[in-house]
Structure 1
Amino acid sequence: MAGARSIAHGNLPDLARVGVIAPAELGGTAIAALRARGIQARTLDAPPDAGTDDEEVIAWALSSPLTPASAIELAQRCAWAAEAGRPVCLLAPAVRGSNRAAIERAGALSHLRAYGAAVAHDVDAWLESVVLLVKFGLPAGPRAAVIAPVGSWLEAQATAIAIEAEATGARSPLTAPDDPTDVVLYDPTLGAPPRTTPGLHVAIAPRAELAGESTALYGARAALGAIAILGRAAERIAVGLGPAPRTATAELQIDRARLDRQLAQLVGARIGDHETKVLLAAYGIPIPRQAVATTPSAAVKLARRAGYPVEIKPWGHDLPSEPAGCPIERDVSSDALVRQAFTSVLAKANKTEAGAAVIVRETPTAGREVSVTLLQLPSLGWTVVLDAPGAPLAAAPAPLRLIDAQSLAAHVIASRAGEPEPDRSGLANVLRRAS
């Protein structure tokens, strides 16, 4: 399952069957809806074995929360379907909370995405993704545009979606006029877009009761969700399945000699703030300037070198992280305040023995606070978990592929309308190198 073969985007000939795996009531509704739109569908108790010649699209609605063990079992089937150009359309509950169970569910879902599953959390978008895949095949990506009559219901839907995204600081599912487009949704009363218009051309009705014979998808929100689900799956499949191969390290231009020197100096299984940042620097990750001082006078010299104001915290391998309560003095702006902060943070950390030290660092550039953890999850192995305020927990298997690092970074949104966009490219670079 290390890689995926090339897939052709667009129409897949003779692909008109769907196998639905779902709880009875939901499955019955899905099959009835698909048949009403001219798509053959049937109930399956389990997916076909990997490698069979059956060309059914699998629409799978999980009946219980996904676990790491079940994700490993499903991954092989997802990979087989992805390599055949018809990824499993998987409906799963969105991850809520940030406890251990939520982390494992996020890791399990990310594992299936990495092996080509098209994961949906909204039932309408899930159904429309199945229809889109059956009738048009995989779009090349998630970028979409809408062509609608002025003053129409469809235009109102598309406008509301764009405004909602802007208000929350999220990226709009609609592309800017000059951006590349993978799918064009159009009102059939306007006729099909010119053949020179790039992307798949898909007729859409804003409401099901307004649909005609030529209509493929229903509802702008569900249709755009379907395009995002399948488009992201297509992009993920195109770069290869699973975590990044070890050979991808060569692309990052890591200072291997410096890294090996730092690793050789580590003692014990746990390392502190300063040693962690030295390792990150060896991986090519930019970090604020900082150094360790064992006396107030040495701390003053370091603060002058870094430039006021500075931040001061205790040094040690046995200290909690800053979010977990490590004492820190911020905005320290003079020699006298450095001396005072030196004593204060050591006292708060109960570091009163001779030789106790502090970290003096330049004040980091203001930005959004994001928590990133590398965890070895049961069955799944090493996983990168990102927790950003205002966004659901996100995860991806390590080592990160570039597309997974970018997907994690996309979860960081501006906290207020009009706030500058976060540096997602910079965050993706840090995540990829750290993984």
Structure 2
Amino acid sequence: MKIIEEALKKGATTLSEHESKLLLAEYGVNVTQEKVVSTEDDAIAAASEIGYPVVLKGSGEELSHKTEMDLIALNMRDENDVREAFKRLTSSSKASVKEVLVQQMVKGERELVVGLTRDAQFGPCVMFGLGGIFTEILEDVAFRVAPLTRWDAMDMMKDFRAHKILDAFRGQPPVDREILADILIAIGTIGMEQDKVREIDINPLKILDGKPIAVDALVVLDNEQS
């Protein structure tokens, strides 16, 4: 795939968040509306096109831990917010930020995680479970070896402790399990087809009106020369 080939040629070990989502979208995963910009005016134009409120994030392959580096500005509601956020991100002392990702603000309360790892014995494995800040704290996730059948994907949804979060929740509709199954199957397919993809981390996968949407994503590449 071109996006992977270009990253490997540059010596990159990860795709940027935006590049990661472009890869996911190629496999049918629903991702946030977003645009990479390099000027304040372009950031404002992108925000107007996407629709307020928006999120601004520092963009680049080396910026995989944006929260820890304070490179995220949430809930930007107007041009002034966008201008101030753009200035703060591009003048950060913690990282060199040349481009900014302007992104749709998704307010879904439920956060899931979907991922891909490569096991030395079993090969590509799909991971699914409770996402957001609870992923590392609670470690409430399930694994299946790729490729996944639809039955495998549906079974994964029952195989983590907080599975009831997929049901109707606080006035919100239940998660569309068919779409969620499509995503799990797609991640397994990437693992089978793209041997240079070492890991995938979609966290959070938020639920908006019952539909899953990838809000943040990271693809780790195998850049070792064979």
Q: Fold conserved (TM > 0.5)?
A: yes
2-structure distance, mates of 1:318, 1:308: 27
Partner residue in 1 for 2:21: 277
Contact 1:314 1:349 in 2 (8 A): no
Mapped to 2, the partners of 1:324 and 1:405 lie a distance apart of 32
Residue 180 of structure 2: aligned partner: 427
Classify the secondary structure of the residue corresponding to 1:366: coil
Out of 90, 96, 101, the residue aligned to residue 359 of structure 1 is: 101
Equivalent in the alignment of 2:127? 385
SS at match of 1:379: coil
- Whether the aligned pair in 2 keeps the contact of 1:413 and 1:422 (CA below 8 Å) is no
Contact kept, 8 Å, 2:47 with 2:54, in 1: the verdict is yes
* 1:405 counterpart SS class: helix
Which residue of the partner structure matches residue 173 of structure 1?
none
Identity among equivalent pairs (%): 25
Paired residue total: 174
Please give the secondary structure, in 2, of the residue aligned with 1:414: helix
Long gaps (5+) in structure 2 = 189-226
Find the structure with the greater CA-based Rg: 1
What is the CA–CA distance in structure 1 between the aligned matches of 2:164 and 2:139, rounded to whole Å? 8
2-structure distance, mates of 1:272, 1:327: 14
Q: Distance in 2 between matches of 1:296 and 1:351?
A: 18
Matched with 1:335 is 79
Q: Deviations over 1:292-347 (max 9, x none)?
A: 01111111110010011101100010112467666311110111110111122334
CA gap of 1:424–1:347, structure 2 versus 1, over 3 A, is farther
Structure 1 residue aligned with 2:151: 403
Amino acid of the residue matched to residue 270 of structure 1? T
**Contact 1:327–1:349 (CA under 8 A) maintained in structure 2:** no
SS at 2:43 equivalent = helix
Contact 1:319 1:326 in 2 (8 A): no
CA 1:380–1:323 in structure 2 vs 1: closer, same or farther (change >3 Å)?
A: farther
Gap regions ≥5 residues in structure 1: 1-259
RMSD: 2.7
The offset of 1:285, in angstroms, is 1.4
Q: Distance in 1 between matches of 2:69 and 2:119?
A: 25
**Counterparts in 2 of 1:304 and 1:276: CA distance versus 1, 3 Å:** same
Matched, 1:306 2:77: no
TM-score by length of 1: 0.37
Distance in 2 (alpha carbons) for counterparts of 1:406 and 1:349: 45
Q: Is the 8 A contact 2:119 2:125 kept in 1?
A: yes
- The letter for the 1-side match of 2:4 is L
Query: 1 or 2, which has the higher strand percentage?
Result: 2
